[in-house]
Amino acid sequence: MARVLRMPGVAANATEAVLSEWLVDESADFAAADAIATVETEKAAVDVEADAAGRVLKTLVPPGAQVDVGDPIAVLGEPGEQVDDLDALLASLGVTTATEVVVPERREVPEPSAPAESADRRVFASPLARKLAKDRGLTIEEISGTGPRGRILRRDVDAAVAPVVEEVVLRPYRNHRDPQPAYDEIPHSRIRLATARRLTESTQTAPHFYVRATVRVEALLALRAEINDDAATRVSVNDLVVKAVAGAHQRVPELNVTWTPDAVRRYAAVDVAVAVATDRGLMTPVVRDVGSLSVTAVAASVRDLAERARDGKLKQDELEGGSISVTNLGMYGVEEFAAIINPPQAAILAVGAVRDEPVVEDGRVVPGKVMSVTLSVDHRPVDGVLAARWLGILVDLLEHPARVLA
């Protein structure tokens, strides 16, 4: 029996998404759990999987089309099913095939003395290709399309910019009387726009407060060296911090929460997001159930997520969830900073560089290695005393790191 496949809600609060690619051709069969199509959100690609075996009888939208959540995107049938009158089937299901997306050719504004040119030639391009071209400083007219009727697809934009990381436009001074200063104009990427929107929302809706501490890390560094002395996967200081954060959440479960309009949602497992800088902007993939993982497993997971974040290969569900993020600028020499909470999480831990400083030990000043940490907290689900207790436990775990492994 034929059935309609609709655009799923692949991201929280999303009302539309781009159908990036069909992975199963028309009249081809697929098995249960096979990926039928790839849908693209602002930050990731999501595979739409089949809930049962079947056949793609008809695709209703072309690759690159932007589709409202819930709208039909394909008609599916049983494995091997044949349809004699496809038009009648579509009519009976109340669906139609989407029309081609057409983008008029952009024209330069003529000089006042020049006659205006007519624009009778059209350029065919998917909405996704148009957005990618704009992000990378290209015009559609610069790109050769390889799709049907010369349609410009994502792969064409990627090929056009393959030798270039990013296109910038420099406006130089023409002379000393030029009132317009020189500047570089770098178009916003979709990831940077999404990050800006979410962090603006966070500062406007989540009342932030901050608690800070300085950690002695000699024992932490010694443990890291011992682990790395005989391990296939090398462990970083940040991996140990992520593991310690999970330990603090397990000991203070009141912080393993998110705020919703109706309730404070407390989680059984501890999922920790890790901030990763990419060429396209900041991403925060989530390491699942950190409390159940070994330190080396945490390190392997963080490395895998970070590499795929930089390659643009993360899936949407790997960017969702978690009650806390860890962001570390220590490798850049930053000693201390405060971060903005990644909504709807309740907190974010900012980690600074390990530095040599004199410390007091048993009444004597001795050389020490210290690290500053700052916890930004959403005051709606978490009170100050609770955050202070959590931070004290985190410091204790980092200064006695054997307890992190327990």
Sign of the CA dihedral running 361, 393, 204, 289 = positive
295/404 Cα distance (integer angstroms): 9
Map residue 257 onto helix, strand or coil.
strand
DSSP secondary structure code for residue 23 in this structure = S
Go through 316-344 and write b for each residue having 16 or more CB atoms within 10 A of its CB, e for each that does not.
Answer: bebbbbbbbbbbbbbeeeeebeebbbbbb
| Cα dist from 303 to 108, 235, 306, 401, whole Å | 47, 10, 5, 21
244/242 Cα distance (integer angstroms): 5
130/94 Cα distance (integer angstroms): 30
Pairing of strands 16-22, 286-287: unpaired
Neighbouring C-beta atoms of residue 250, cutoff 10 Å? 14
CB 328 within 8 A of CB 317: no
382/388 Cα distance (integer angstroms): 10
Map residue 3 onto helix, strand or coil.
strand
Q: Which amino acid is at 90?
A: L
Map residue 293 onto helix, strand or coil.
coil
374/352 Cα distance (integer angstroms): 8
Helix (H) or strand (E) holding 39: strand 35-40
74/21 Cα distance (integer angstroms): 13
Rounded-to-5 percentages of helix, strand, coil across the chain:
30, 30, 40
Active site residues: 379
Tokens (6 digits) for 4? 């309609």
Half-sphere exposure of 168 (CA within 13 A, CB side): 10
